[in-house]
Amino acid sequence: MFEYCSDPKSLEGLIWLSCYVTTPKHMSFYGSFLVVMGLLALAAPLAMLFGFIGAIASRSSKSLVRFFGKGYLAMIRGIPDIVFFLFIPIALDQAFEYLRHKILCPEVIEPIRQGNDFVVCTAAKLPLSAASEWVHDLYGFSLALLAFGFVFGAFTGNVLFGAMAAVPKSQLETGEAFGFSPRQVFRRILIPQMWIYALPGLSNLWMILIKATPLLFLLGIEDIVYWARELGGIKTGVYDYPHPDWRAWYFGVLMIFYLLLTYISQIVLDRLSNKLSIGQATLAGKAI
């Protein structure tokens, strides 16, 4: 990055370090922190959406909808996360490519499964082989994001389901007595009231979501864990900046990063909890 870095082997001390931490490879490492933050920023609303749908479906008066809602919550919560994290991206990828193959290359008669191989025509590849690398990265990230949303959505759904059930029934009945339609009762009484009951569960899930982000690494995405391991490993003279095993330092940085993230989250969540408690018929609400 700096001009004086052109001959790394001749450098020493702090100058060496300043060149070392600004290599393009380290820039990828710093960039991967943004990938993690991006995943958090997108996975949380997505999980909320899946959770809301799951919770409302489980409360439905129609038995078929209720069956699917409860089935979603029970199934995901009952199967190890890691199985789903590995299953969803692979299954989705193959399902997409299978469908595209059937639509785009109807003339190909060879089967898609040939022994061990999963072969679709060139045009059905997702992303296309010729697509640039960032398209491949984005595609992998999106599949991972869907997996996160799907898995955490089930937990969120269960929290929201419980929170909705915790709103005093007499309040809903009062609403009906005032002539509110079921939809109005839901929107104006149930939803605003349930948040304070949902918050402890949701804040827990948020913390778990933060701590689950290194799973990205398992899905083959070059996240902070990947780069920390890659950069920290022992480097021989074949690299420009040889060094012994520095993984402890790199993982130390990750620990500080995650600790900061959870610490700041906790402060924000505490404030939110205080705000939502105002005027509630709960101990926290009365204490303020």
Partner 1 sequence: MKKIILSAMLATFMFGSAYAETVRMGTEGAYPPYNFINDNGEVDGFERDVGDLLCARANLDCVWVINEWDSIIPNLVSGNYDTIIAGMSITAERDEVIDFTQEYFPPSPSVFMALSGADVDVDSGVIAAQTSTIQAGYVAESGATLVEYATPEETIAAVQNGEADAVLADGDYLFPIIDESGGDFAAIGEVSIGGGIGMGIRESDGALKAKMNAAIDTMKADGSLNTLIKKWFGKDANTF
List interacting residues with partner 1 (CB under 8 A).
8, 23-25, 27-28, 90, 93-94, 97, 103-104, 110, 114-120, 122-123, 125, 128-130, 133, 136, 220, 222, 229-230, 233-234, 236-242, 245, 247
Choice between 94 and 280, CB closer to partner 1: 94
What is the nearest approach in angstroms of partner 1 to the Cβ of residue 88? 15
What is the nearest approach in angstroms of partner 1 to the Cβ of residue 240? 4
Report the Cα–Cα distance between both ends of the chain, in Å, rounded: 55
Choice between 145 and 218, CB closer to partner 1: 218
Pairwise CA distance, residues 147 & 216, whole Å: 10
Choice between 248 and 287, CB closer to partner 1: 248
What is the nearest approach in angstroms of partner 1 to the Cβ of residue 118? 5
Choice between 66 and 229, CB closer to partner 1: 229
Omega within 30 of 0 (cis) for the link into 127 = yes
What is the nearest approach in angstroms of partner 1 to the Cβ of residue 40? 24
Task: Output Rg (C-alpha) for the chain, integer angstroms.
Answer: 25
- CA 64 to chain CA centroid, Å, is 29
127: tokens are: 């992303």
Choice between 182 and 252, CB closer to partner 1: 252
Going by their DSSP bridges, the two strands 113-114 and 117-118 should be labelled as antiparallel
Pairwise CA distance, residues 202 & 160, whole Å: 8
Contact 43, 35 (CB under 8 A): no
Choice between 162 and 240, CB closer to partner 1: 240
Q: Look at the alpha carbons of 183, 184, 187, 189 in this order and tell me if their dihedral is positive or negative.
A: negative
234: tokens are: 């022992």
Which residues contact residue 192 at a Cβ distance below 8 angstroms, ignoring those fewer than 6 apart? none
Choice between 179 and 244, CB closer to partner 1: 244
Please classify residue 55 by burial: count the beta carbons closer than 10 Å to its beta carbon, then call 0-12 exposed, 13-18 middle and 19+ buried. buried
CA dihedral 48, 53, 57, 60 (to 10 degrees): 90
